[in-house]
Amino acid sequence: MAKYEKEVKELLEYVGGKENIASLMHCVTRLRFVLKDESKVDIKKIEALPTVKGTFTQAGQFQVIIGNQVSEFYKEFAEYAGIQAVSKEEVKQAAKQNQNLAQRAVSNLAEIFAPLIPAIIVGGLLLGFRSVIGDIYMLNDGTATLKDVYPWCQGLYDFLWLICEAALHFLPIGVVWSITKKMKGTEILGIVTGVTLVSPQLINAYQVATAENIPIYDLGIFQIERIGYQSQIIPAILVGFTLVYLERFFRKITPQSIQMIVVPFGALVPTVFLAHAVLGPIGWQLGEWISQGVAWGFQSSVGWLFGGLYGLFYPVLVITGLHHTMLAIDLQLCADPVINGTYMWPILVLCNIAQGSACLGYILMNRKNEKDKQVAVPAVISAYLGVTEPAIFGINLKYIYPFIGGMLGSGIGGLFSMFFVCKASSVGVGGIPGILSMKIESIPMFAIAMVIALVLPVLFTMILSKTKLNKFGKA
């Protein structure tokens, strides 16, 4: 007898039977169904199964939280239901059939940035570490940094810039590559095109504002400024999609026998020309308008209110998947040579911590609930390290009041953060380690904001558990 035989049979029945399953895969802890009709799902019966820790729907997928034993459960389920294994990409494509146009656009943007996140996080962390070495005057009565006193620290400071520059300044290469990969274009053309945006031939984007003379390419009838787009996101996105669609066009009209020559030439050369003559300047301007608009809101006399509202509602963005779009704005703020940092990422850090603390508050009030403890304990740790989905979908949204407690805590934390204008040098880990990404002058007050995000959601969750909100949960 199979270990999960009874539950497998019941789960198949409760999701509407095999005929209701368009595709299925699993990740580290969850079964991820793409269903033809979600109205046929009996969520209450599914969540009553002993092995199931919770359910939620996101990005067109109905997800069932199983835990670390998910691979074994999946194998038994797939064998019993007669479902063939499919790739993650196939599941995503099937899930998009359940999404509207706006949801698909957000999903595509998220999928473009998802492969870049590990490099961005490492770059942000190392940038913060470099600040500790080279920007904090902690020695010789506050007149010298570590690199001023110790030669090996200067060497380490310079060496770490190799990684930071590659991950953050040369980010347009990754963006264009990721677009070509996502859109099934030729990836090496994406890499080459990305390199042309940050080539050493071009003046560095961070030096444009102070440069006395900007060099040009003199092409006779017109000239193109030799400006680089280091760290610029929007120009890279425009260029990436232009490359993909030009490649598709030339591949469609070119005979198979000469595609190897015509397609790369026809896609690459016009794209690079347009990148520097048209798309780059347009993207730069759009990026400036966005970053300056966001900065105006956060730097205004009511910036503290913006911070509070962003902290309050950011967890809602996580539910919808719209939070992925915020990364592009964060990176654009960091790339702006005037703003040179982001106000939004610190608040994201606080939101992640707050949802973890709200989950902690719930489990402190429900110590005897062994089933929820199996979800909550690792979810709290995960949230404190920057991944909130297990806490939000596994516990907080399931019982409602912990989610609201987390929102209130992060709202107050965001208000506090913006009242003292806390700013990060770059994005990094969205949890407690996020303090390493902060500007040196922001660290003391942001540390207090982190304490607020750690403590208040626990208290709010405990208080709300005594109110009528406790009756809205699915327990």
Contact between 167 and 119 under an 8 Å Cβ cutoff? The reply is yes
Name the residue type at position 248: R
On whether the CB atoms of residues 272 and 208 are closer than 8 A, the answer is no
CA 439 to chain centre: 20
Tokens for 186?
Answer: 């030729």
Q: Tell me how far apart the alpha carbons of residues 470 and 446 are, in angstroms, rounded to a whole number.
A: 32
Contact 457, 358 (CB under 8 A): yes
Question: Cα–Cα distances in Å, from 210 out to 172, 214, 276?
Answer: 22, 10, 20
Measure the N-to-C terminal CA separation of the chain; round to a whole number of Å: 31
Tokens 């995000």 belong to which residue?
A: 453
Long-range interactions of 301-304: CB distance < 8 A, separation 24+: 303/343, 303/418, 303/419, 303/421, 304/415, 304/418, 304/419
Contact 32, 68 (CB under 8 A): no
Contacts (Cβ under 8 Å, ≥6 apart) of 371:
50, 53
Whether residue 359 lies in the annotated active site: no
Please report how the helices 344-365 and 401-419 are oriented relative to each other, as an axis angle in degrees rounded to 10.
150
Answer for the pair 295, 333: CB distance below 8 angstroms, yes or no. Answer: yes
* Cβ(229)–Cβ(336) below 8 Å: no
Residue 323's φ and ψ, nearest 5 degrees, are -65, -25
* Contact of 15 with 40, CB cutoff 8 Å: yes
Contact 424, 346 (CB under 8 A): yes
Residue type, 475: A
Catalytic residues: 27
